[in-house]
Amino acid sequence: MADGEERAGRTMAGRAVRRLAAAAPGLLVVAAAAVAAIPSFDLPPLAAATAVAGALATALWPRPRETAPRIRAGADRSPKLWPDPGMRVTVDAIDDPCFVTDAEGVVRYQNRIAVERFGAARMGDPLSFKLRVPELLAAVEQAGRHATPGALRFTDRVPTERVWAVRVTPMLLGRREGRERADFVLVRLTDETEQVRLDRTRADFVANASHELRTPLASLTGFVETLLGPARDDAANRERFLKIMLEQAQRMARLIDDLLSLSRVEMKAHLVPSGAVDPDEVIRHVAAALAPLAASTGSRIAVEGEVDATVRGDRDEIIQVVSNLVENGLKYGRDGGTVTLAVVAEAGPEGVSGVRLTVRDDGPGIAAEHLPRLTERFYRVDADGSRRRKGTGLGLAIVKHVVARHRGRLAIRSTPGVGTEVAVWLPATPVAAAVETGATAREGP
């Protein structure tokens, strides 16, 4: 520090000497004129000395052009407070919400996606005005003051719950050696809400499937142990136990079949079926196949409507959809009631031609609070009643995924005390494809 001050002093003295040498002729003229004016004009000697001193001071005063370079040099060494255009373009290219702050956490820039997700921040305001997350603000402070990157996850519950993963990255411009303080801090937020939801769904699915399989398996194990022990020679109980074991084994088989069906549909979710299916043939096939089940409950299946069109889809999957809906109507509808299976041509979104399949029962109906969750896996309005009726809790989940794969629409309406109606809309097969399919069928053996 002392050496620097000494060098600065020598520099200033050298400049003064050079200015004095350059002004010497003028100073001599001023001094000579002052001396001559004393006897000629009765000028007081003090006034003459003052004039010479003023000229000397004027010669030694620093010129503006000598101080300007030093001011500019100091400006070049001051910290840059605003991102340059290149940095802004780079941040705009990131497809996640991003904020750029200075080392103190003051917002200097935000990209377009950040404006859309969090609203426009006023430049120069602290980041805490926009993101009130203590852990995030602490990470920004650490990155700004010590150039330490950080990562965290937080949940924003307003206006809707969203999960954000945050990367906080210090940005150092120019030389990095020996520097701890960052010039800027980049805050990048990645929306992981959907990923978290899928993880939760997967965990819930595994837990529910394990529970559904464990119950009949525990029952089977208990009866087997009883038959091998106390009931070894009890013929009457042995027959009763074997019937229960058969029911539990069948329940496990139904659950596994539904799980496999759901898995197959999900694996093909991105593939749109291209076949042509006759909806009239499907509903009559399902009505005939489920007639014995209807007879066992004293109910009947009524078929209404007829369409002169085919739908684009997979025949087996559409049969499974209609079968699941009719089975639900027979199981949870009114004993001795009627399940109506109807088909009608109907235009869908944007005028796309299609067919609407409707299954309607006259049972007790479903309360409104249950309707949004009916298509969730293993969701049951009445769990005990569902198990007694041999339900797996996966029927409507399969329906939802099949309809989605066919790019159709599913609607469920129910009125307690009146009944439930489930409507499935499927797009019709284009005329050219339908004609080609029909011609191929006629040419077959």
Output the pLDDT for position 159.
76
SS3 331: helix
Output the pLDDT for position 2.
46
Cβ neighbours of 101 (radius 10 Å) = 26
Output the pLDDT for position 246.
86
Which of 313, 320, 349, 315 is closest to 430 using CA atoms? Answer: 313
Q: What is the pLDDT along the chain (445 residues), one digit of tens a residue?
A: 444 445 545 555 566 566 656 665 665 655 666 666 566 656 566 665 666 566 655 655 555 444 444 434 333 343 446 888 888 999 999 999 999 999 999 999 999 999 999 999 999 999 999 999 999 999 999 999 888 999 999 998 877 788 999 999 999 887 666 677 889 999 999 999 888 888 877 777 777 777 777 777 888 888 888 888 877 778 778 888 888 888 888 888 888 888 888 888 888 888 888 889 999 999 999 999 999 888 888 899 999 988 888 999 999 999 999 999 999 898 888 888 899 999 999 988 778 899 999 999 988 888 888 888 888 887 877 766 666 666 777 889 899 999 999 999 999 999 998 999 999 999 998 754 444 444 443 334 3
**Taking the model in full, what pTM does it have?**
0.54
CATH architecture of the domain with residue range 85-196: 2-Layer Sandwich (3.30)
Output the pLDDT for position 442.
37
Q: Where are the alpha helices (DSSP H) in 229-314?
A: 235-267, 279-289, 291-296
How many whole angstroms separate alpha carbon 422 and alpha carbon 328? Answer: 10
How many whole angstroms separate alpha carbon 287 and alpha carbon 293? Answer: 10
Domain ranges of the chain: 14-40+47-55, 85-196, 207-268, 276-383+391-427
Amino acid in position 388: R
Output the pLDDT for position 140.
95
* 352 φ/ψ angles, rounded to the nearest 5 degrees: -70, 130
How many whole angstroms separate alpha carbon 294 and alpha carbon 288? Answer: 10
Q: Determine the topology of domain 207-268 in CATH.
A: Helix Hairpins (1.10.287)
Q: Are strands 300-304 and 338-347 parallel, antiparallel or unpaired?
A: parallel
Superfamily for 276-383+391-427? Histidine kinase-like ATPase, C-terminal domain (3.30.565.10)
Which DSSP letter does residue 298 get? T
